[in-house]
């Protein structure tokens, strides 16, 4: 059991997820990075690299698209580490296609991993947070959940849904010291970008007022801010970090 505040980051060995783990561990949290059971080798390598860099980050297996798998993961975490008080729902995938070409499987995979996961994981830990009188839930949404994106009917719907969830849950747990927010990154320098055709990505970056991708640590910094005890009056918010790609109020 830990005396530090325990944080769990889903998709924690991915591009943005691993930067969030690093931000949180440097801020003094005990951090667990969740990974999909099929990515055990990658997760172990990542953990080794963290260790070599002097960062003590745990890894926990669990398929966030499966409620049963999340229940097992939560049980193991509670037994070994205690109550998760900071939860970052970061696991996500893309299956970009125009709706004309999108198969039911493309829709289902993206909705299961990006949106159902938020229920599957948050449900495991929210009571622990309210009982402790402190908690932080941060969903990693997307600029494309706010503005929509050509070829992303599935992803845009899931990412918008994450914020609907956050706005509702924020009201349910506000009295118990638990905040629920979203961070909506713009296009970020991770492996996810490799699925975008080069010419399309170039056109997208040209539309970003900052004329560049975000770096993962620029997204992680916002998560660190929201996780902080001093951010206790911010709830139900959706904070953009998109280089000006979509400016709204
Ligand atoms: N707006 C309007 N029309 C567009 C368009 C756009 N943005 N993009 C393409 N079109 C047009 C094309 O010009 C083409 O027109 P014609 O048929 O008249 O020639 C038509 O739509 C079909 O385009 P494609 O042939 O390119 O269609 P495709 O099926 O081969 O590819 C796609 C479509 C897979 C969606 C591809 O355009 C693509 O990958 N786009 C990028 C999607 C994207 O931004 N994904 C973000 C991933 S990263 C992420 O999601 C992280 C995050 O949170 C930001």
Main-chain dihedrals φ then ψ at residue 240, nearest 5 degrees: -85, 140
Q: What is the mean pLDDT of residues 137-154?
A: 98
Give the C-alpha separation, 160 to 174, whole Å. 21
State whether the beta carbon of 207 lies less than 6 angstroms from ligand 1.
no
Examine residue 247 and state whether it is found in any structural domain, yes or no: no
- Dig out the tokens for 219 from the structure: 């997204």
Examine residue 1 and state whether it is found in any structural domain, yes or no: no
Residue-wise pLDDT for 200-220, tens only, equals: 999 999 999 999 999 999 999
State whether the beta carbon of 142 lies less than 6 angstroms from ligand 1.
yes
Main-chain dihedrals φ then ψ at residue 85, nearest 5 degrees: -110, -15
User: Do residues 111 and 160 make contact, with C-beta atoms less than 8 angstroms apart?
Assistant: no
pLDDT at 60 > cutoff 70: yes
Atom of ligand 1 nearest to the CA of 203: 7
**Total domains in the fold of the chain:** 1
State whether the beta carbon of 189 lies less than 6 angstroms from ligand 1.
no
Residues in the chain: 249
Q: Where do we find the tokens 């629920």? A: 180
How many angstroms separate the alpha carbon of residue 150 from the centre of ligand 1? 5
pLDDT at 32 > cutoff 90: yes
Q: What is the mean pLDDT of residues 144-158?
A: 98
How many angstroms separate the alpha carbon of residue 151 from the centre of ligand 1? 5
How many angstroms separate the alpha carbon of residue 95 from the centre of ligand 1? 12
Domain coverage including residue 51: 6-241
Atom of ligand 1 nearest to the CA of 186: 54
User: Do residues 215 and 186 make contact, with C-beta atoms less than 8 angstroms apart?
Assistant: no
How many angstroms separate the alpha carbon of residue 208 from the centre of ligand 1? 16
Examine residue 151 and state whether it is found in any structural domain, yes or no: yes
- Dig out the tokens for 80 from the structure: 């070994």
State whether the beta carbon of 235 lies less than 6 angstroms from ligand 1.
no
Examine residue 130 and state whether it is found in any structural domain, yes or no: yes
How many angstroms separate the alpha carbon of residue 98 from the centre of ligand 1? 7
State whether the beta carbon of 29 lies less than 6 angstroms from ligand 1.
no
Examine residue 163 and state whether it is found in any structural domain, yes or no: yes
Active site residues: 155
Examine residue 249 and state whether it is found in any structural domain, yes or no: no
Please give the model's pTM, rounded to 2 decimal places: 0.97
Q: Report the b/e string of 67-97 with b at 16+ CB within 10 A.
A: bebbeebbeebbeebbbbbbbbbbbbbbbbe
Give the C-alpha separation, 59 to 48, whole Å. 11
Q: Name the 3-class secondary structure at 132.
A: helix
Residue-wise pLDDT for 69-105, tens only, equals: 999 999 999 999 999 999 999 999 999 999 999 999 9
Q: Whose CA is nearest to atom 53 of ligand 1?
A: 142
Provide the pLDDT for residue 179. Answer: 99
- Residue 107: CATH number of its domain: 3.40.50.720
Ordered strands of the 84-89 beta sheet: 57-61, 30-35, 6-9, 84-89, 135-140, 178-185, 238-241
Provide the pLDDT for residue 2. Answer: 67
Residue-wise pLDDT for 163-187, tens only, equals: 999 999 999 999 999 999 999 999 9
Averaged confidence pLDDT in the chain:
97
User: Do residues 31 and 230 make contact, with C-beta atoms less than 8 angstroms apart?
Assistant: no
pLDDT band at 3 (very low <50, low <70, confident <90, very high): confident
Examine residue 248 and state whether it is found in any structural domain, yes or no: no
pLDDT at 1 > cutoff 70: no
Q: Where do we find the tokens 């956050």? A: 166
Give the C-alpha separation, 89 to 145, whole Å. 15
Examine residue 146 and state whether it is found in any structural domain, yes or no: yes
Q: Whose CA is nearest to atom 3 of ligand 1?
A: 150
Q: What is the mean pLDDT of residues 100-114?
A: 98
- For ligand 1, pick from 150, 183, 198, 241 the residue to mutate: most ligand atoms within 8 Å of CB: 150
pLDDT band at 156 (very low <50, low <70, confident <90, very high): very high
Provide the pLDDT for residue 82. Answer: 96
């Amino acid at each position: 059991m830990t005396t530090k505040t325990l944080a769990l980051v889903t998709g924690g060995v991915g591009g943005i997820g691993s930067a969030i783990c690093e931000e949180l561990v440097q801020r003094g949290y005990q951090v667990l990075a969740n990974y999909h059971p099929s990515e055990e080798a990658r997760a172990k390598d990542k953990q080794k690299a963290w260790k070599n860099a002097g960062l003590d980050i745990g890894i926990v297996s669990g398929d966030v698209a499966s409620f049963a798998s999340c229940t097992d993961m939560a049980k193991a975490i509670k037994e070994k580490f205690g109550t998760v008080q900071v939860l970052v729902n970061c696991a996500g995938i893309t299956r970009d296609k125009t709706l004309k070409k999108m198969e039911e499987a493309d829709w289902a995979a993206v909705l299961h991993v990006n949106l159902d996961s938020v229920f599957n994981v948050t449900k495991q830990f929210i009571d622990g947070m309210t009982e402790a009188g402190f908690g932080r839930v941060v969903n990693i949404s997307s600029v494309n959940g706010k503005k929509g994106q050509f070829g992303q009917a599935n992803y845009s719907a899931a990412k918008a849904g994450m914020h609907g969830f956050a706005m509702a849950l924020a009201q349910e747990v506000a009295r118990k010291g638990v905040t629920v927010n979203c961070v909506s990154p713009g296009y970020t320098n991770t492996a996810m970008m490799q699925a975008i055709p080069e010419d399309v990505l170039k056109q997208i970056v040209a539309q970003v007022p900052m004329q560049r991708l975000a770096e993962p640590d620029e997204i992680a910094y916002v998560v660190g801010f929201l996780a902080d005890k001093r951010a206790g009056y911010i709830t139900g918010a959706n904070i953009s970090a998109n280089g000006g790609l979509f400016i709204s109020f």
